[in-house]
Amino acid sequence: MPTNSPKSQHVLVLNSGSSSLKFAIIDPNNGHEVISGLAERLGSEAPSIKYKYDGTKTAINLKANEAHAETINTLVALIKSHKLDEHLIAVGHRVVHGGEHFIQSILIDEDVISGITQAATLAPLHGHANLLGISSAKESFKGLPQVAVFDTAFHQTMDEVAYLYALPYKLYTDFGVRRYGFHGTSHCYVAGQAAQLLNQSLEESNFISAHLGNGCSVCAIKNGKSVDTSMGLTPLAGLIMGMRSGDIDPGLFNFLTTQLNYSAQQIDDLLNQESGLLGISGLSNDCRTIEEASLSGNQRATLAIDMFCYRLAKQIAAYMVPLQRLDAIIFTGGIGENSNLIRKKVISQLAFLNIDCDEEANLKARFGQQGIISTKKTKIKVIVIPTNEEWVIANDAASIVKEL
């Protein structure tokens, strides 16, 4: 049983998805995860929770149809049974969409809830789940401060030249239609870590960070601030992802509706759940499966990887325009942190930037190991940094609580 010093302070971090709930209790001072887990298939016939505590992994089946509120109750009972609630100072919520209103993490009160509700019209699926998580946690952890940490906040430094779409301006002024960008917590964290690794100040650093997980995005970071990013109004835009198409010709909508009788919902499903690596390979959205299939000669798997890398390299190259000078390219997220193959293919397409991959370092920087994977003579560095969004959320929540 891990021991807690009487002074240890922890934050419960909640990341509510539409049918899942990721949770962790974290020491904000060092990022140590006391307990972490994932509740999945919420609201279905067979929801379950898997968690890791004190080096042991446990799985529990939840009651059929159990959703966020009941799951948080189960979580409370679990936390209390290990006496982990005694050290909690706050609950930190990952909130996907903060619109233009939220430019930093904030203590949740009624005004903040109505701001999040308003922003949720731009991302209904995520927004609704986030609000459910907040209301359930407020009910179950009465008296504990709740803090919202937004995926969009880091990108609020973008200039209108970068964030506006070339649509009638009224759509922006009246309905907030613009590029917001996501994965901000991750891009911000890895940029800070990269500056430390290079021993330079973040405020003087220019980076391009590629967060490559199930969702993928690239961010251009100038003097430590986001100046452009590949996701847009929603997390569907930009790069090829596991199941998401990324950028497509918007004329496709007309073709699908008039020629193939698709409904709006069918188009949404097609672009969000049937496209990307899965759509091209016809095999899986999981990069590992596709890499294995490609190695065994599956041509569509190879095509999916090649398309993924080409689009990513093109997006990185495009961000030389806002940056002009680049200190490092950062890889993070499940693919960015682990796939030496994808990293090598992307780097080779950026050879005109005079960057080169150090094969040995590329193999070493995997499975949680950070490192510089470009060769010593390369001026622009290529760096792998494992992301830790949960720690950022815990840290932000703890800092806000300290100021109360």
- Which residues, including other chains, have CB under 8 Å from residue 200's CB and lie 6 or more apart? 327
Smallest distance from the beta carbon of 206 to ligand ADP, in angstroms? 24
CB of 348 to ligand ADP, least distance (A): 17
Task: Point out which residues pair with 220 in neighbouring strands.
Answer: 208, 228
To ligand ADP, the closest distance from the beta carbon of 242 in angstroms equals 5
DSSP 8-state code for residue 62: P
Which CB, 49 or 335, lies closer to ligand ADP? 335
Cα atoms in the 13 Å half-sphere on the side-chain side of 34: 26
**Of 263, 309, 262, which is closest to residue 290 (Cα–Cα)?**
309
Q: What would the two tokens of residue 175 be? A: 């309905």
**Of the two residues 228 and 291, which places its CB atom closer to ligand ADP in the complex?**
291
Rounded to an integer, what distance in angstroms lies between the CA atom of residue 80 and that of residue 78?
Answer: 5
Distance CA 304, CA 312 (A): 12
Nearer to ligand ADP, 122 or 342 (CB): 342
Closest CA to 189 of 333, 37, 362, 374: 333
- Smallest gap from residue 175 Cβ to ligand ADP (A): 28
- Measured between alpha carbons, how far is 191 from 202 in angstroms, rounded to an integer? 7
Q: What are phi and psi of 276, to 5 degrees?
A: 60, -145
Q: Which CB sits closer to ligand ADP, 12 or 277?
A: 277
User: Largest Cα–Cα distance in the chain?
Assistant: 67
The residues binding ligand ADP (CB under 6 A) are 213-215, 242, 286-288, 291, 333-335, 338-339
- 271 residue type, one letter: L
Q: Pick the closer one to ligand ADP by CB: 85 or 292.
A: 292
Smallest gap from residue 67 Cβ to ligand ADP (A) = 20
Token look-up 């890895």 returns: 190
Enter the tokens of residue 265. 């919902």
Alpha carbons 72 and 86: distance in angstroms, whole number: 17
Q: Which of 27, 151, 228, 358 is catalytic?
A: 151
Half-sphere exposure of 110 (CA within 13 A, CB side): 0
Task: Decide whether 151 or 358 has the Cβ nearer to ligand ADP.
Answer: 151
State which residue has the least CB distance to ligand ADP. 334
Cβ(127)–Cβ(101) below 8 Å: no
- DSSP reduced 3-state for 225: strand
- What minimum distance in Å lies between the beta carbon of 71 and ligand ADP? 18
Q: How many residues does the chain have?
A: 404
Give all strands (DSSP E) within 128-182, no chain letters: 146-150
Active site residue 306: no
**β-strand partners of 216:** 212
How far apart are CB 403 and ligand ADP at their closest, in Å? 30
Q: Which amino acid is at 182?
A: F
Q: Which is nearer to ligand ADP, 87 or 366 (CB)?
A: 366
Q: Evaluate whether 126 touches 21 at the Cβ level (below 8 Å).
A: no
Q: Which is nearer to ligand ADP, 141 or 180 (CB)?
A: 180
Catalytic sites, residue numbers: 151
